[in-house]
Amino acid sequence: DVKLGGLGPDYEAIKEKVKKLKQQKEYAKQIKEHNMKNMASVQRLPTKPQVISSVSRQKALEYAKKIPRPKPFIARQPDEEVKEERVLPQTLSGDSLPQIASLETLQNRHEKEKQVVAAFRTLHII
């Protein structure tokens, strides 16, 4: 007694699948309603985690106050630059610009690189 597949759709299998899907949807609906009721009762309870978080924040702030601050980095200038006093460049509004410690070294490097480029140009390499 073996039942082989036919040419048309199997209505009995389709009815079983539809019935199973309806049961799943009904169960999901019941669970959703149950969860909504539980959520409403949970929201009414006083919130203790906020109190704990404020206590932990206070502890963190107290700890931060006790940590020694790092010393600010002060760039030391060579003796030659300290001895020479220069007039600081000023803007149009009269504010003085801060002095750059390595400005001379940058200018010297720029001049040397200019000479190198000029040498390359005379040799027609560039």
pLDDT in tens, 9-19: 788 889 999 99
Q: Is 26 among the domain residues?
A: yes
Between 87 and 44, name the one with better pLDDT: 44
Q: How far apart are CA 82 and CA 85, in angstroms?
A: 7
Sorted by sequence, the CB contacts under 8 Å of residue 98 that are 6+ apart come out as 88
- If one counts the domains in the chain, the total is 1
pLDDT above 60 (res 53) = yes
Q: Is 89 among the domain residues?
A: no
126 touches 120 (CB < 8 A): yes
State the number of CA atoms in the 13 A half-sphere of 41 facing the CB.
6
pLDDT in tens, 6-47: 787 788 889 999 999 999 999 999 999 999 998 877 666 555
Q: Is 97 among the domain residues?
A: no
Q: Is 83 among the domain residues?
A: no
> Exposed e or buried b for every residue in 93-102, given b needs 16+ CB within 10 A?
eeeeeeeeee
Whole domain around residue 37: which residue ranges? 10-43
User: Whole-model pTM?
Assistant: 0.30
Q: How far apart are CA 126 and CA 120, in angstroms?
A: 6
How much is the pLDDT for 33? 94
